Amino acid sequence: MGSNYIYFEKQDADLMCGQHALNNLVQENAFTVDMIAEANARIEANEMALGIVNGGQNASLSGDLSIQVLQALTESYGIRLVNFSNPQYLAQACDPVNSRAFLVNKSAHWFVLRRFGPYWFILNSLSAGPVHISNDRFISEMQELALQQQRNSAQIFHVIGDLPECEADRAAKAGILYPERMVTNDAELKAIIESSTNAEADELDRVLELSRQEAEQKGRTLQEGAESAPAQQLSNEEIRQIRIQRFSRST
């Protein structure tokens, strides 16, 4: 059986990596697209009331949910997502024995590092399934991700609080959780993460191109209706607004 005890959502063409990461984190199909859209709408309404213009950057078709949306969703589980750089939790975060889970964003893709019993797993929705890493690999990967966070090329959030006990936890306690696939070297570990984010980037490019075409068509229509208006060059932020509008319509 082995890793079959671990709940794992695989991402296909839905681009909802944020949703899959949260469900893999809590080990059940807990967070739906409707819940995400509702949390996003609530956060953006609060931001507007405070005069904060965020340009629709809390959620997008790519599943690139903001940390504010993720925190709002995980509150119902009594867990908090704390930035890895927070000195209060940094020492604990580097401890493979006492830490339970981490939520990571790399190249606009969310995935999870999760421990069941003594075993650490990478739960990446773009992988074929859970991938086991040793404690030594876990430490080296966290160190590498910490460096990437300093360079603003990754975000790491330590999961603080009691995650609900799941089937994989019980299997680990019973001594029947046997990892079926284990990373054996740093090159393989990097390949798993980089290949996943590259695949996600291809999908992001496709969505971005569709959004850009829609935005350009809208700009041409506006320009035809007002000859005196200057030609518009849409920024990435404006394109992102279109993407979140699409996301809202899809729900």
Distance in angstroms (rounded) separating the CA atoms of residues 74 and 31: 9
Of residues 40, 105, 124, 132, which has the active-site annotation?
124
Please confirm, yes or no, whether 109 is among the known catalytic residues.
Answer: yes
Tell me the C-alpha to C-alpha distance, in Å, between residue 210 and each of 65, 206, 207, 214: 20, 6, 5, 6
Of residues 17, 23, 105, 132, which has the active-site annotation?
17
Of residues 20, 109, 132, 158, which has the active-site annotation?
109
Distance in angstroms (rounded) separating the CA atoms of residues 68 and 39: 9
96 three-class SS: coil
Please confirm, yes or no, whether 152 is among the known catalytic residues.
Answer: no
Please confirm, yes or no, whether 124 is among the known catalytic residues.
Answer: yes
What is the residue-wise DSSP string for the chain?
-GGGGS--PPP-SS--HHHHHHHHHHTSS---HHHHHHHHHHHHHHHHHTT---TTTT--TT----HHHHHHHHGGGT-EEEETT-HHHHHHHT-TTT--EEEEEETTEEEEEEEETTEEEEE-TTSSS-EEE-HHHHHHHHHHHHHHHHTTSEEEEEEES-PPP-HHHHHHHTT----S-B--SHHHHHHHHHHHHHHHHHHHHHHHHHHHHHHHHHHHHHHHH-TTSPPP---HHHHHHHHHHHHHHH-
132 contacts 120 by C-beta, under 8 angstroms? yes
By annotation, the residues acting in catalysis are 17, 109, 124
